[in-house]
Amino acid sequence: MKRQLAWRASLVGVAALLSFLYILPSIPGFSPLPAWWRYVRPLIFAPPPEPISLGLDLQGGMHLVLEVDTEKAVEIAVERRVAEIQGAVEGEGISVARLERRGTRQIFLEITEEKARGAVERILGNYPEMARSEEGRTQFLLTLSGREVAVIQEQAVEQNVEKIRNRVDEFGVREPLIQREGDRRIVVQLPGIKDPERAIKLIGKTALLEFKMVDERSRDRNIVEEALKGKVPEGAEILYEKVLDPQGRVVDRIPYLLEKKTVLTGDVLTSARVQFDPDTNEPVVAFALDRAGARIFGDVTGKNVGRRLAIVLDGNVYSAPVIQNRIGGGRGQITGRFTPDGARDLAIVLRAGALPAPVDVIANLTVGPSLGQDSIRAGVQASIVAGILVVSVMAFYYRLAGVVADLALLLNLVMMLGILAGIQATLTLPGIAGIALTIGLAVDSNVLIFERIREELRLGKTVRSAIDTGYSKAWVTILDSHITALITAMALFLFGSGPVRGFAVTLAIGILINLFTATVGTRVVFDWMTLRGMKRLSI
């Protein structure tokens, strides 16, 4: 009996101590943890204590709903196939009269000589996902199949989720929520965000990096003026460079006549980081290319010495320096009168990679910190009021046994908060509601046990026998009710989202802890009292 009591008391004491240590970092102004803790923690495989993370509804932040332009993803995929086909036919020495994308799902190819038809058919045979029809002996029309369209759209949404998650992780937001919703939408929650506008720009930027040659015809002022009026020469396009003032406002736009053909894209980037130009002391973004990208970059710069190479991001020209000599090694930099934050954000999106399809912000809800503090205050007040009422009723109705149950209730709360901090779960307002609900479950378990003990005492049994029988008979009922509640919590977690999951997590943790405190925690106290010779139980 004594050995069993010592084992249970040690278990309860260790659980209470560990829980308290994990709660400490969440208490404002807490003193550092004891020095011995850093030696004990590795032995019990415990993670380092950190403050309990608060959800969006408690500390404020942003709730964004993004919609992916999946049709644009299909268009980009078809454009990529156009570039591949162009490279293949050029490699075969086939003369092409016209090669272009039609709509978002078709490619039209016309060759000049019918004798090259066999070679073209072999090349187009590498694209079985595109149905081929002929509009003449030298004309081919490729149409992307509906199945391939669905695959591209599905992959675009999934890849966007991953790219956005990578950007947010580098941005440094703790406990973000990024998840898919429906066919084309992505939900992003950023608790504690301090600069919403900067976050939206970072998340929503497509970050399609392209290198394009400035068109040789731009030296003719008349051609440029005609292009600005809408008469753009074939194979060229007009893009602009934004001129910013020191405050980051656009004060001018410089037009560039560029070749439509992209010589290199950001897919070949291996790194991007912020540096400062030693001459101007302005931030720039230095980048490095992979082996294939470095080879292409070296070839392009080597063949175009004296010409200008434009660096284009999301359709905006950032700079168009003159190529002085061949650039080997696959390294370069992007300038553009950046602010430090602007350069840092550009480096983040370049490292994370371009979004495979643009996104539109269709909902933007900003929760202020003051609203979050009001929610915390209201939730804590509700829990305190509920706790005081429960403690008072238990102490009044069950007397000494009720006080024991109240101590178990306090242990329940300490352990719950300790586990939330230990597993680094996010506490939300519904989570606080889950904590309040577990208080009721904890009381219910003790009521079952105490009523069983009362029945045994009325039958004339001794205190020791009444306690043993009361716990053993109530155990099955308590276990059944807790398993049922746990199944409900699991269903809420699996099929719910956001706040519902927060409620499910705290409810499930509370159920498991309550099984421990109701059947082990209170039992330790009663066993200790009976060993000390208690003959009458105040219950």
Cα–Cα distance, 141 to 104 (Å, whole number): 13
Q: What are phi and psi of 326, to 5 degrees?
A: -60, 130
Cβ–Cβ < 8 Å for 243, 237? no
Burial 413-428 (b: 16+ CB within 10 A, else e): bbbbbbbbbbeebbbb
The residues pairing with 142 across neighbouring beta strands, listed in sequence order, are 107, 132
Cα–Cα distance, 493 to 464 (Å, whole number): 41
Burial degree of 508 (CB within 10 A; 0-12, 13-18, 19+): buried
The residues pairing with 279 across neighbouring beta strands, listed in sequence order, are none
Q: Which domains does the chain have, with CATH numbers?
A: 2-54+369-531 (1.20.1640.10), 71-148 (3.30.70.3080), 205-366 (3.30.1360.200)
Find the largest Cα–Cα distance for the chain.
111
DSSP state of 51: P
Cα–Cα distance, 474 to 444 (Å, whole number): 11
Q: How much is the pLDDT for 239?
A: 93
The residues pairing with 61 across neighbouring beta strands, listed in sequence order, are 191, 367
Quote the Cα angle for 460-520-36, to 5°. 145
Cα–Cα distance, 9 to 288 (Å, whole number): 61
Considering just the CA atoms, what is the radius of gyration of the chain in Å? 34
Choose among 534, 161, 524, 180: nearest CA to 357.
161
Q: How much is the pLDDT for 37?
A: 62
Q: What are phi and psi of 164, to 5 degrees?
A: -65, -40
DSSP state of 520: I
Cα–Cα distance, 502 to 379 (Å, whole number): 14
Residues 6+ apart with CB under 8 A from 473: 452
Dump strand ranges (E) for 9-138.
53-54, 61-68, 96-102, 106-111, 130-136
Q: How much is the pLDDT for 142?
A: 92
The residues pairing with 242 across neighbouring beta strands, listed in sequence order, are 253
Report in angstroms the alpha-carbon separations of 336 from 23, 205, 313, 354, 458: 47, 17, 11, 19, 87
Q: Is 10 helix (H, G, I), strand (E, B) or coil?
A: helix
Cα–Cα distance, 327 to 331 (Å, whole number): 8
Burial degree of 386 (CB within 10 A; 0-12, 13-18, 19+): middle
Q: Which residue has the tokens 């080997």?
A: 328
Alpha helices (H) along 112-188: 117-124, 146-171
Mean pLDDT by runs of 10 across the 539 residues of the chain is 74 82 72 61 58 74 89 87 86 87 89 87 89 83 92 90 84 77 88 79 82 90 87 89 72 88 83 84 87 87 90 86 86 80 82 82 75 68 78 84 85 86 78 80 83 85 84 86 88 79 85 86 83 75
